[in-house]
Structure 1
Amino acid sequence: MRGYTFYERVSRAFHDYSSLSKLIVISTVGGGSLIAYSEANASSDAYSVAPPEMGIKKKKVVVLGTGWAGTSFLKNLNNPSYDVQVISPRNYFAFTPLLPSVTCGTVEARSIVEPVRNIVRKKNVDICFWEAECFKIDAENKKVYCRSSQNTNLNGKEEFCMDYDYLVIAMGARANTFNTPGVEENCNFLKEVEDAQRIRRNVIESFEKASLPNLSDEERKRILHFVIVGGGPTGVEFAAELHDFVDEDLFKLYPKVKDSVKITLLEAADHILNMFDKRITAFAEEKFSRDGIDVKLGSMVVKVTDKEIFTKVRGNGETSSMPYGMVVWSTGIAPHAIIKDFMKQVGQTNRRALATDEWLRVEGSDSIYALGDCATVNQRRVMEDIAAIFSKADKDNSGTLTVKEFQEVIKDICERYPQVELYLKNKKMGDFGDLLKEAKGDVAQDAVELNIEEFKKALSEVDSQMKNLPATAQVLHRFLYIMIF
């Protein structure tokens, strides 16, 4: 982050938070790039760990999940002083952005997976992998309960319990159905490699069924009506891939049913790809219109049966239905049942994801960390620590703060409180000296001195720029998190 090396950040952390006795450092970069994990003693200027030859028992780190977050952690874990146990129902890492391409055969499934054992086998760390599903987390006793993901009878031995010193939860999330009736029973999801392969089979089977000679035109059109629910990146990309697959490949194999095929994209909001620039949204909608993909905006799905999908128009509440042959549901994510149960244990009810502090430590727990789609980061507010910030910057204990004093620690403050940098950027201020000058009036920079009350006033609006961040690779690649325990 901001050009600092891992060792520089660790050293700075000791000086900035000298009262802390131990540190654990994790950084994540999108695409499985950088991860660092180490323990440090606050009395030293560099991190140090007890080597295994000293006879000290290694601390056990249990990692749940082999998705983006979990695999990124494992790929760059180089500290041999930990005993790492990895538990996941799948023994591979999947490059999920290419799942829509797998549904239509543009990319083969084997091309987007990498076995976990290949990733960890050359590491100079004790890492064991167990293909199993965690179904319970016992935070009080520091245990996780798991069962084998294999469909075999092991005479009651398919379940096992594993203890831990530190737990890293990176279990991802499931598709969010919003409790819509019929979705679980009748829709396809696109979260796993198996989902993509299933969708591909269903598309082919739909064309085979529609080619039978005894079908009416109405039934043939129903079977070849493909509905995608959700106008986010996954839904839009799948719709585009499906259109190309049908237009370039399937029409050649099934020319007699060409006029019966229809692709519909349902989106509850006013536009598809709302999270992107408006120019991208406009281009995608225009492209779909030219390709004949029917985009229905403001359409909320309220019910799905085995042959019909019911929608309600946002605004007037008008309800309608349409027959379909296959539905792909892509409307965001929700926590797994085990995460919901764990959230109750740590007092995090009525949340969409596990809440962590800015160091990815689960709030309400001392030795459990969460990252990826199962978690969200609650960024600490500047005003909560205003007295500590002032005291740290006021090195001469004068009771006032000069621009020079504060600029010596401003980089560290911006790293721990990203909203400070965002606030300065939005206010078009070059540095914090401009903010202090604004608080005192137009005076020479060297003459600016603020007491703590004036300092509070200067920072009073900073937290308004703060947002809770999902603990995903796209967000984490900007930060080196110092997780304290």
Structure 2
Amino acid sequence: MIVKFSFTAVLDFHISLRTIIVFEYTNKIVAHNEPNGNQKKVDVQFSEAECFKIDAENRKVYCRSSVNNNLDGKEEFVVDYDYLIVAVGANVNTFNTPGVTENCHFLKEVEDAQKIRRTVIDCFERANLPDVSEDEKKRILHFAIVGGGPTGVEFAASLHDFVNEDLVRLYPGIKDLVKITLLEAGNHILGMFDKRITAFAEDKFRRDGIDVKTGSMVVKVSEKEISTKELKNGEIKTIPYGMAVWSTGIGTRPFIKDFMAQIGQASRRALATDEWLRVEGCNNVYALGDCATINQRKVMEDIVAIFKKADKDNSGTLTVIQFQEVMKDICERYPQVELYLKNKQMGNIADLLKEAKGDDKKESIELNIEELKTALSKVDSQMKFLPATAQVASQQGTYLAKCFNRMEECEKNPEGPLRFRGEGHHRFKPFRYKHLGQFAPLGGEQTAAQLPGDWVSIGHSSQWLWYSVYASKQVSWRTRALVVSDWTRRFIFGRDSSSI
């Protein structure tokens, strides 16, 4: 079995088949061999390699060594699999903007963060030289961040703190020349957050001296200038900069594009899966995280099968009681039904059927198939794509690990909803994402938090909540201790400003 999986999922993954795990940031592969079915003693083989091709028809994954000291070049090898789980994340999306790849920094890998840190310090070193003109110093110390989403906002806030709390003490003569600009094509930054958080973030950035330019779409990046198009009037402006960071979204990795072309998904932006995270068109391939998207099945596609399953007496009409008998399976298979009832503030399916029929007597309501179609016609409008966040990927990894661990057991005792297009039940319950909230660190030990129940918190208390959540999500106690000790060191001694 070949499995590409996230770190979180690996902790819970104990399946009794050959397994290969490929980590996102370097496409590393871990092989699990367990021929004797022992779920506790697992022989682990690790290979640091890059996956560059998937052959779904022959169940093979083509890899090449990524070890730098390979004297004979990049050695290639092929691995067979029983099941494949694709979790390789995504690339940075440049939207084919000229000059971005050559001149911008990205926020994707650990190496990107290290490179950004070195570049920031180099900018201060160059601007501090005595023979540099005033205008050139301003250009060098102008830091431009493209993208007003959570990543871009958090980086702008962190950069502001780093400059004003640490670097200005080492370079006091040029501290007034530093400028940070955040460019966003939309009307507001943090567009996916509550409006109260958006307003607070924009106001705080203005007070901190961070220049927020909304409605500015970057059309070109040269070595020293960024060209933007103002969406209001179409005017083209150029902004000189010393360092540019690109943080505008995600794109598909090249070998995933090739795989999608193989299986007839070439027109999609990501691998399409069903609610069980199986890639459509490949029964033995699963996908999760940023490289995939769940193609939630529509109720109206199965409305005839649903009606037939509920109409046990073949009368041609459904009573409320008959429909409620399969309602649990419907809500589990089609979560948009439950969401629709919640948004319409309806207590149960009887209220929905009554609205469609126009009958006040709930118990006496009987609907034919056309009336049922009318009742459920707007349900599919509640379908939403899941956000490309670590929270989603982590829950998907945990879900899939549990499914594989219970695969043999659930073959005999299925736990999922009814197969409305066939007989019996599915082996597993569909994946259901549970949103636990989202945070936006805004610098100055202040964070905005948007938690379930429309609860919004902004300020220092939310920062400590963010610290606790961040630490708790680490993969081990060792990592938690390292992270907390690093925060403590920063509080006491400040950030490390060396160029090592």
Structure 2 residue aligned with 1:408, among 325, 328, 331?
Answer: 325
Output aligned runs, 1:364-383, within 5 Å: 364-383=281-300
Output aligned runs, 1:191-202, within 5 Å: 191-202=108-119
Equivalent residue for 2:19?
84
SS in structure 2 at match of 1:373: helix
Alpha-carbon distance, 1:78 to partner: 3.1
Residues 18 and 81 of structure 2 are in contact (CA less than 8 Å); yes or no, is this contact kept in structure 1? no
**Runs of 4+, deviation exceeding 4 Å:** 89-93, 122-127, 470-473, 475-485
1:186 and 1:470 mapped to 2: Cα distance?
28
Alpha-carbon distance, 1:123 to partner: 5.8
SS in structure 1 at match of 2:48: strand
Aligned-pair Cα RMSD in Å? 2.6
Structure 1 residue aligned with 2:256, among 339, 344, 353?
Answer: 339
Matched, 1:237 2:154: yes
1:236 and 1:131 mapped to 2: Cα distance?
34
Matched, 1:205 2:112: no
1:129 and 1:391 mapped to 2: Cα distance?
51
Alpha-carbon distance, 1:154 to partner: 4.9
Equivalent residue for 2:10?
74
Give, as a single letter, the amino acid of the residue that structure 2 aligns with 1:363: E
Gaps of 5+ in 2: 32-38, 401-415, 417-425, 429-500
SS in structure 1 at match of 2:291: strand
Structure 2 residue aligned with 1:129, among 10, 33, 46?
Answer: 46
Matched, 1:361 2:296: no
Give, as a single letter, the amino acid of the residue that structure 2 aligns with 1:382: V
Output aligned runs, 1:37-436, within 5 Å: 60=1, 62-65=2-5, 70-79=6-15, 81-88=16-23, 124-155=41-72, 158-436=75-353
Output one character per residue of 1:420-444: Cα deviation in whole Å (capped at 9) or x when no partner.
Answer: 1121122211111111122222332
Output one character per residue of 1:273-331: Cα deviation in whole Å (capped at 9) or x when no partner.
Answer: 00000110000000000000001111111111111111111131111111110001000
Residues 85 and 127 of structure 1 are in contact (CA less than 8 Å); yes or no, is this contact kept in structure 2? no
SS in structure 1 at match of 2:220: strand
Gaps of 5+ in 1: 1-59, 94-114
Q: Residues 150 and 156 of structure 1: is their aligned pair in 2 closer, same or farther, counting only changes over 3 Å?
A: closer
SS in structure 1 at match of 2:58: coil
Residues 136 and 145 of structure 1 are in contact (CA less than 8 Å); yes or no, is this contact kept in structure 2? yes
1:464 and 1:149 mapped to 2: Cα distance?
45
Give, as a single letter, the amino acid of the residue that structure 1 aligns with 2:4: L
Matched, 1:456 2:386: no
1:76 and 1:417 mapped to 2: Cα distance?
28
Aligned residues: 396
Give, as a single letter, the amino acid of the residue that structure 2 aligns with 1:73: A
The two structures have a TM-score, normalised by structure 2, of 0.74
1:484 and 1:182 mapped to 2: Cα distance?
49
SS in structure 2 at match of 1:425: helix
Between the aligned residues of both structures, percent identity stands at: 68
Q: Residues 90 and 298 of structure 1: is their aligned pair in 2 closer, same or farther, counting only changes over 3 Å?
A: closer
Output one character per residue of 1:116-151: Cα deviation in whole Å (capped at 9) or x when no partner.
Answer: 89xxxx965555432211011111111111111111
Alpha-carbon distance, 1:343 to partner: 1.2
Residues 188 and 198 of structure 2 are in contact (CA less than 8 Å); yes or no, is this contact kept in structure 1? yes
